[in-house]
Amino acid sequence: MSTPPVVLAVAGTDSGGAAGLAADVATIGHLGCHAACVVTAVTAQDTAGVHAVHAVPAHLVAAQVEAVVGDLPVAAVKTGMLGSPEVVETVAHRLGDLPLVVDPVLVATSGAVLGDASVVRAYVEHLLPVATVATPNLDEARALTGRDDPPGELAARLADLGCVVVLTGGGAAGTCTDWLCVPGGHPEPLRHPAVATTADHGTGCTFSSALAARLALGDAVHDAARRAASYVVTQLTTSSTWDLGRGRGPIAHTSGGAP
């Protein structure tokens, strides 16, 4: 087998194994890349909620980043929960020159706040302007713009900060619509079938990791976004028959279940 491209995931942990680095590392590996991982926060989390958060100090996040980029040929980076404005700035400063997918994690599926107003400001001022692609959901796009416009308009506003935006979510009548907008361009709807399931914890993490892996494998952004969405549909279809946890169960990151 040939040497895989390296994708660096910079994110928090989810003890329930649904979201965060667990989703990132599994997805990146399943798509044929090697996952390096930098931990930004430890969460005590399950399918029902986030019970505690311990932020990793910014200097230790920086040390992890240095260890990875000093040794491995990172082809793409994906960021998830960063948790503090200092960590957002560290990532922007040290990783902003690489192909960079930013999932601006602010709120968990369960409703827990994973990034406050100072983190929102740091994304807008420091990280989105150097990102290649940002993948906010509708709530995150509203928080980042401070507006309540239709999703296509929010995607265009965020793209004006300097990155391609794929605004995710918005399922209705069996269809999910994501909005893709390049800086200065017109928002374009990307549609795929909606899977009826409550086993969707970690979907955004899986999507942004799949997008970063596809970029590392050489896809252009449009193709990477389409393939990442199609990956998520397959994985949600698998987990739709699972019965795990009291809350919203994990999306299947890799397998179709035990053989």
Ligand X SMILES: Nc1ncnc2c1ncn2[C@@H]1O[C@H](COP(=O)(O)OP(=O)(O)O)[C@@H](O)[C@H]1O
Ligand Y SMILES: Cc1ncc(COP(=O)(O)O)c(N)n1
Q: Enumerate binding residues for ligand Y (CB under 6 A).
A: 11-14, 19-20, 43, 45, 80-81, 105, 108-109, 201-205
Nearest residue to ligand X, by Cβ distance, number only: 204
Q: Which of the listed partners (ligand X, ligand Y, none) does 43 bind, with a CB threshold of 5 to 8 Å by partner kind?
A: ligand Y
Q: Which of the listed partners (ligand Y, ligand X, none) does 171 bind, with a CB threshold of 5 to 8 Å by partner kind?
A: ligand X
Q: Which of the listed partners (ligand Y, ligand X, none) does 108 bind, with a CB threshold of 5 to 8 Å by partner kind?
A: ligand Y
Q: Min. distance of Cβ 112 from ligand Y in angstroms? A: 7
Beta carbon nearer to ligand X, 132 or 208 = 208
Q: Which of the listed partners (ligand X, ligand Y, none) does 95 bind, with a CB threshold of 5 to 8 Å by partner kind?
A: none
Q: Which of the listed partners (ligand X, ligand Y, none) does 207 bind, with a CB threshold of 5 to 8 Å by partner kind?
A: ligand X
Residue 21: name the closest of 37, 5, 6 by CA.
37
Distance CA 228, CA 258 (A): 23
Beta carbon nearer to ligand Y, 90 or 208 = 208
Is residue 189 a contact residue for ligand X (CB under 6 A)?
no
Q: Min. distance of Cβ 73 from ligand X in angstroms? A: 28
Q: Of residues 147-186, which lie at the interface with ligand X (CB under 6 A)?
A: 168-169, 171, 176, 178
Tell me which residues touch ligand X (CB under 6 A). Answer: 137, 168-169, 171, 176, 178, 194-195, 197, 200, 203-204, 207, 229, 232-233, 236
